[in-house]
Amino acid sequence: MVSEIKDREKKIFITLIILTIIVSVLGTVMLLEVSMQPKPKTNQQVGYVTIEILPNPNKAPDQRVVEKENHQPG
């Protein structure tokens, strides 16, 4: 009876080791797949993305006149 319990414990232990190996291999493969994907081409610096806003050559320049108000201190 004691040998049956030891055999069962051995089987459970071996099964847990095999499952751990399978999970770690799958996790490594998934990480490799993610790292092998082509990254989008962005003007990227550390931690944030910079976006350049270029003037649209097809659009007419803004024709509004901005009036300046004279504010005198006091």
d(CA 51, CA 53) in angstroms, rounded, equals 6
What is the pTM (predicted TM-score) of this model? Answer: 0.45
d(CA 11, CA 17) in angstroms, rounded, equals 10
Is the Cβ–Cβ distance between 12 and 18 less than 8 Å? no
Is the Cβ–Cβ distance between 52 and 43 less than 8 Å? yes
For every residue of 12-52, DSSP letters joined together read HHHHHHHHHHHHHHHHHHHHHHHHHSPPP---EETTEE---
Per-residue pLDDT of the chain (74 residues; tens, 9 = 90+): 778 888 999 999 999 999 999 999 999 999 888 888 776 666 555 566 666 677 666 666 555 555 555 556 55
